[in-house]
Amino acid sequence: EDQVTQSPEALRLQEGESSSLNCSYTVSGLRGLFWYRQDPGKGPEFLFTLYSAGEEKEKERLKATLTKKESFLHITAPKPEDSATYLCAVLNTNAGKSTFGDGTTLTVKP
Amino acid sequence: GAGVSQTPSNKVTEKGKYVELRCDPISGHTALYWYRQSLGQGPEFLIYFQGTGAADDSGLPNDRFFAVRPEGSVSTLKIQRTERGDSAVYLCASSSRGADTQYFGPGTRLTVL
């Protein structure tokens, strides 16, 4: 059974204080790993797809990286508007469904 | 263009009642997914359609849950004899043919009293 574990559950940062969120996964065959951002009361918003170990994707202050066992979402010089829950999900090569972690809730204080 | 839409945004019902939740996917998207999200948890897979047929319904918790997509576009999730434990946000997502990325709607918050 595919599993995704995200850590920490919650992270509080000062504006400008860089940090990383972790997503550890076990999957029989990885088709893709996805990062989403979710604001309260809204659906997940797509950020990145990573397909193979060593791959990196960047968008503004966010950078996602992938190894064979985990993915990191690096946040550089965060701003208060980056406050949200960040979700990680894996897609198995043998299935159309995604398995999600429980997310990391990021709070950035001004 | 328009994203995934879901109606209603909120639904309050009484235990034992029947409810229908609707999802309009992004135009042209062939795959449609239903997930359930409880407070503080990630989305939990329910069912996945490719076109009109259910390609994988392994996440439906029991036979009270059923979903249809008769014309390969709009989908309806149907829950019979609702229970308090069914209370959650029901999310719908769609993806285009051959693509892996799923785009989510805003969800329907279901409350069973």
Chain A hits for B59, Cβ within 8 Å: 97
Please check whether residue B33 touches A, CB under 8 A.
yes
Nearest-Cα residue of chain B relative to residue A91: B100
Mean residue pLDDT of chain A comes to: 96
Check pLDDT > 80 for residue A95: no
The torsion angles phi and psi of B85, rounded to 5 degrees, stand at: -70, -10
Q: For the segment A1-17, what is each residue's pLDDT rounded down to a tens digit?
A: 899 999 999 999 999 99
In the numeric block, the tokens 């997509």 are attached to B69
pLDDT of residue B1: 57
Please check whether residue B27 touches A, CB under 8 A.
no
Interface test with B, best of A6, A92, A97 (most B CBs within 10 A): A97
Q: For the segment B49-76, what is each residue's pLDDT rounded down to a tens digit?
A: 999 999 899 999 999 999 999 999 999 9
B58/A97 Cβ within 8 A: yes
Please check whether residue B107 touches A, CB under 8 A.
yes
